[in-house]
Structure 1
Amino acid sequence: MEPATGDVLARVARAGAEDVSASAATAKAAQKAWAAMPYGERAKIFRKAAQLLEANRDDYATWIIRETGSVRPKAMFEIDSVLHLCHEAAAMLTQPRGLVLPSHEGVSSIARRVPHGVVGVITPFNFPFLLTSRAVLPALATGNAVVLKPDARTPVSGGVLPALMLEAAGLPPGVFHMLPGDAQAGEALVTDPDVTMVSFTGSTAVGRRVGELAGRHLKKVALELGGKNALIILDDADMDLALCSGAWASWLHQGQICMSAGRHLVHESRAQEYARRMAEKAKTLPVGNPHTEPVALGPIITAQQVARVDRIVRESIAQGAKLLAGGVPNGLFYPATVLADVTPDMPVFREEIFGPVVSITRFASDAQAIALANDTEYGLSAGVHTRDIGRGMALGEQLLVGLLHINDQTVNDDGTMPMGGRGASGNGSRHGGPANWDEFTQWQWVTVRNSAPPYPF
């Protein structure tokens, strides 16, 4: 469905457990030949995929805009990011895959990276094309076959489009399977005996279930989950730049990003100005259908998610938060919202919102800012604004996060960086750059002796 209009965009089959089982078996059978294909031939497929995407970027962007409700710049960012990931996947195939270890005379000892076999990938609705490609492309590049279950709300941009792209680029049959489905298909994928590793990106609640099932079946699992990220504005910050960062960090894609700034921690000497100017900015941002109008914010993905955002805002206001802008939904459209005087006991401070809400909490010292930022079960991203780089680094080093940005906001992504969090934001796994070898392969120790040794018995 198109969130902005309610129109039907496409009809896609819903996979069940039997479909997952059949695809996993086929993928397992195809994986060895794929891993054995000359690396140069495999690299050509990823480069061809990039060429096809570049030639069809407007069509892909239209699907992302209509299916996810995103504005065009966000859709184009996804496409540019996937282009980068295609070239990174091709480049992985010429990188070293092992180490020569110390050994005795006459013995060669090496540690090499080998693929898991079949990797199951489960992806979310918010950046479907990018987050699918972020796992699928390196998993394939390292010699695995892949079974993908995209989010049922975005099966085309999260599943059909990357599948068509790779098929047209020449990926051999059976190596990649795309099965849209619900929780039943997801659980079948995690528990299937032919799937040896699972990559999940989504909510912490579902991630706990995925981790539980994977652990029960002794499978490696990479969990990239939610966040309650802090953007810290120190008393010496450049206010114009801080406001720009704060608005982007909370309102980009309607706040439906795991790295969105869920808490704006502002020094008490600057908090009143920050709140006033943020509210002024919020009131200027148009909300509407991004496919037909030049808007800053599109629709929230579902009515259920709108209800969740509205509940968090209303309950926080009832507990004393001050509403300065927004806060009134219109169907699936929710305006840029600003809440001031937020305290740590309020839902807007504690819960991941996944909506366009700036939540402002005051602090009096750097130590208090650190304590407030760490006062959460999550540990994904943080940003610190200050003119004193040393001060910012000293503060940042005490934040329990996987991603830290000094003089920038919390929503940052790059295919060459290790993306992931700690605590309820993930199990320490990472996607991107050097971390892809860690996640999508495992070590194998190999020794070769000039002659077999004599043992005592």
Structure 2
Amino acid sequence: MALLDAALWGGKVNIGGWTKAAGGEYDVVEPATGATLGSLGAASRDDVYRAAQLAAKAQPEWAARKPEERAAVLRRAGQLWEEHADEIQDWIVREAGGIPAKAQLEIHTAANECYEAAALPSHPHGEVLTSDEERWSFARRRPAGVVSVIAPFNFPLILSIRSVAPALALGNAVLLKPDPRTAVCGGVTLMRVFEEAGLPEGVLSLVPGGAATGAAVVDAPEVRVISFTGSTAAGRKVGESAARLLKRAHLELGGNSALIVLPGADLPKAASAGAFGSFMHQGQICMATGRHFVHESVYDDYVAELSAKAEHLPIGDPATAQVALGPVIDQHQRDHIHGIVEASVAKGGRLAAGGTFEGLFYRPTVLADLDLGNPAFAEEIFGPVAPVTKFSRVEEVVDLVNANEYGLSVGILGDVGTAMKIADRVHSGKVHINEQTVSDEANAPFGGVGVSGTGSRFGGPTANMEAFTEVQWLTVRPEIAPYPF
């Protein structure tokens, strides 16, 4: 049987096995064509609560497994991503609208996330402390318990697996709530891979659904940690609810990332980097280049080069044609993108390329001559739009970058010495010199500042250990201590 045979999961959720959901079913739709690809169960609040109770029962036995046993499950999961890459790729292309290269990147990263997580069970889980008492004193890491993972539609596999894999590796049980628009490639694929890898029943549950389902995976009493990736607006609600319930929430939110093009930069390479940063996966990436700051000495040439690339990038159905851009996820997102483009032109911006669409296919767009108050500069567009403005001095561009409330990623192109000085002054979770703004690796810390989130809560042993464990102080004496009572 194929890994993703719909006869197994069609119309269902996974709570201790594939089962019908109390919330009914909904269609899985292909954005490029509008075709129905299948159906999934919609988890109700009762479904989520049942999954949380099951997770709480299954978690202690999973946490008690030998480190090598948990590591083996994670390694096998990594192998399964590679073995079933073609089948999974097809779902990412059709359900998420990504081009094949983007789908391949997601699968490759998913495998690496599992391989990196496989090292966590044997990683040091604490430290020996000094003590003024006659005892041994330790700070040790313990599994948090039940972790809820809420993932978005844009990179549904990566943005699920980067929390699911380390949380499982560290002995937690997980409730996974993918975006309902991409719940096969961002949910069913993970469920099936870990089933085949030997994960015990109940340790991972799949509960797709909308806002009500999201609220339930936050407030279910057994849940101790929430790992959320999504919009700043939704993240605020998750964070507020978690704080009221005294739960930890790790929030990776929106971005309006800046690309700085310094004087003397290689313009063809800079324009290529800028086009990738703004147009990759239709700009539907939290790290997408949302603001291009270009030195006045190269500004006109950069806009011309970037516009030429935008005009020549092929756009269409990635399942049937070799294209650079596929469809945006749905009509709501398309209308949001186009509304910002129209408002930006009305406020004085120059449309240098694009600005049109057919169905859900939005042309790569370049907006030039913008000021900081222009809607295209102030807001996260989450579409294939490259807003460009000029600067004259290094001090000025630092202030321009920092004037925005987002702080996820910054790319700096050109002289490395100048770029190093800028990197020390910009407020950003990530800085890439002579690269664009979109980058991620399984062993690197990932996160933003400002309204882009609550810091680096994903990637690498330190961030993952902090995210998915609790610290316990443990002391040991050779005999019962004397007390004055």
TM-score by length of 1: 0.99
| Runs of 5+ unmatched residues, structure 1 | none
> 2-side partners of 1:68 and 1:151: how far apart?
11
Corresponding residue for residue 307 of structure 1: 335
Runs of 4+ in 1 over 2 A off after TM superposition: 103-106
- Compute the displacement of 1:193 (Å): 0.8
- 1:391 partnered with 2:418: yes
Task: Select which of 162, 166, 173 maps to 2:190.
Answer: 162
In the TM superposition, 1:234-245 aligns within 5 A as: 234-245=262-273
Corresponding residue for residue 352 of structure 2: 324
Task: Select which of 437, 446, 449 maps to 1:419.
Answer: 446
Corresponding residue for residue 6 of structure 1: 34
- Compute the displacement of 1:390 (Å): 2.0
> 2-side partners of 1:97 and 1:392: how far apart?
37
Query: Deviation per CA, 1:314-354, whole angstroms, max 9, x where unpaired?
Result: 00001111111100111100011111101111110000000
Query: Deviation per CA, 1:142-198, whole angstroms, max 9, x where unpaired?
Result: 110000100010010010011000001100001000110000000011111110110
Check conservation: 2:268, 2:305, Cα contact below 8 A: no
- Compute the displacement of 1:18 (Å): 0.3
Corresponding residue for residue 402 of structure 1: 429
Task: Select which of 22, 32, 42 maps to 2:70.
Answer: 42
Task: Select which of 216, 222, 230 maps to 1:202.
Answer: 230
- 1:95 partnered with 2:136: no
> 2-side partners of 1:429 and 1:390: how far apart?
26
Corresponding residue for residue 56 of structure 1: 84
Check conservation: 2:344, 2:375, Cα contact below 8 A: yes
Check conservation: 1:429, 1:439, Cα contact below 8 A: no
Check conservation: 2:340, 2:381, Cα contact below 8 A: yes
The DSSP-based 3-state class of the residue aligned with 1:58 is helix
> 2-side partners of 1:36 and 1:284: how far apart?
56
Check conservation: 2:348, 2:370, Cα contact below 8 A: yes
Check conservation: 1:312, 1:347, Cα contact below 8 A: yes
> 1-side partners of 2:213 and 2:456: how far apart?
23
Question: For residue 129 of structure 2, what is the amino acid of its counterpart?
Answer: L
Check conservation: 2:260, 2:294, Cα contact below 8 A: yes
Question: For residue 443 of structure 2, what is the amino acid of its counterpart?
Answer: T
Question: For residue 413 of structure 2, what is the amino acid of its counterpart?
Answer: H
Identity of aligned residues (%): 50
Corresponding residue for residue 254 of structure 1: 282
Task: Select which of 150, 161, 170 maps to 1:133.
Answer: 161
Question: For residue 380 of structure 2, what is the amino acid of its counterpart?
Answer: E
Corresponding residue for residue 370 of structure 1: 398
The DSSP-based 3-state class of the residue aligned with 1:153 is helix
Task: Select which of 256, 274, 280 maps to 2:308.
Answer: 280
- Compute the displacement of 1:455 (Å): 2.2
- Compute the displacement of 1:397 (Å): 1.1
The DSSP-based 3-state class of the residue aligned with 1:400 is coil
- Compute the displacement of 1:51 (Å): 1.7
In the TM superposition, 1:152-231 aligns within 5 A as: 152-231=180-259
| Higher strand residue share | 2
- Compute the displacement of 1:104 (Å): 4.3
Question: For residue 411 of structure 1, what is the amino acid of its counterpart?
Answer: V
Check conservation: 1:312, 1:348, Cα contact below 8 A: yes
> 1-side partners of 2:266 and 2:484: how far apart?
74
Query: Deviation per CA, 1:39-98, whole angstroms, max 9, x where unpaired?
Result: 111111111112222111000000000001000000000001011011111111121111
Question: For residue 383 of structure 1, what is the amino acid of its counterpart?
Answer: G
Task: Select which of 342, 347, 358 maps to 2:386.
Answer: 358
Query: Deviation per CA, 1:274-303, whole angstroms, max 9, x where unpaired?
Result: 001111111111110000000000000000
The DSSP-based 3-state class of the residue aligned with 1:242 is helix
TM-score by length of 2: 0.93
Task: Select which of 43, 46, 52 maps to 1:15.
Answer: 43
- 1:343 partnered with 2:374: no
Question: For residue 230 of structure 2, what is the amino acid of its counterpart?
Answer: G
Question: For residue 116 of structure 1, what is the amino acid of its counterpart?
Answer: A
Corresponding residue for residue 450 of structure 1: 478
> 1-side partners of 2:480 and 2:129: how far apart?
19
> 2-side partners of 1:72 and 1:322: how far apart?
33
- Compute the displacement of 1:417 (Å): 0.6
- Compute the displacement of 1:454 (Å): 1.8
> 2-side partners of 1:144 and 1:374: how far apart?
38
> 2-side partners of 1:238 and 1:429: how far apart?
32
> 1-side partners of 2:216 and 2:207: how far apart?
11
Question: For residue 406 of structure 1, what is the amino acid of its counterpart?
Answer: I
Query: Deviation per CA, 1:244-286, whole angstroms, max 9, x where unpaired?
Result: 1101000000000000000000001111000011111111111
Question: For residue 417 of structure 1, what is the amino acid of its counterpart?
Answer: A
> 2-side partners of 1:443 and 1:334: how far apart?
48
Check conservation: 2:62, 2:203, Cα contact below 8 A: yes
> 2-side partners of 1:118 and 1:416: how far apart?
23
Query: Deviation per CA, 1:436-457, whole angstroms, max 9, x where unpaired?
Result: 0010011111000112222223
Check conservation: 2:267, 2:305, Cα contact below 8 A: no
